[in-house]
Amino acid sequence: MSALLPHPFLSAALFLMWLLLNAPPTPGNVLLALLVGLIVPAVMRALRPRPVRVRRPGLALRLLVTVLYDMLRSNIDVARIILGLHRGERRTGFVSIPLEMRTPFGLSLLSIILTATPGTLWVQYDSHTGRLLMHLLDDTDSEGWVRRVKDRYERPLMEIFS
């Protein structure tokens, strides 16, 4: 890695992506793609994220299976709501969840899990109080969601990355 190309694969990927998104390639687009490919990785290098250590890889695989199962189940639930097959009253709402986890990488993964799961959305996180505000498409059991997030996602993430 050199000072000009700290991350050569990222530079190449950004260069190609820029050209693909701005087709057809013109001299101006090629120049912009080259600038993006050189400048963005240099800026990213300045961020210098701390290395992440996975302490329990087996638990990480178990969490992955849990997340995939929950995503499949949520897809079915959301489809039933959209198609009008869901019996009963549907209430959208917000739930506030007190989180114990403070590691940036764990919080990032939790936000990805919650936002990628249909019917839920990570709205806001207050780092001073450790409270997460989450939006639910079908808020029938707020306390159940608090337990679900803490037991199914937060605790395993804390064990994996803390």
Global pTM exceeds 0.85: no
Closest CA to 102 of 133, 131, 142: 131
The answer to whether 46 and 76 are in contact (CB under 8 A) is no
108-141 residue pLDDT tens: 999 999 999 998 999 999 999 999 999 998 877 8
For residue 96, the model assigns a pLDDT of 94
pLDDT tens-digit map of 32-85: 999 999 998 888 777 777 778 889 999 999 999 999 999 999 999 888 888 887
Can you give the pLDDT at residue 30?
94
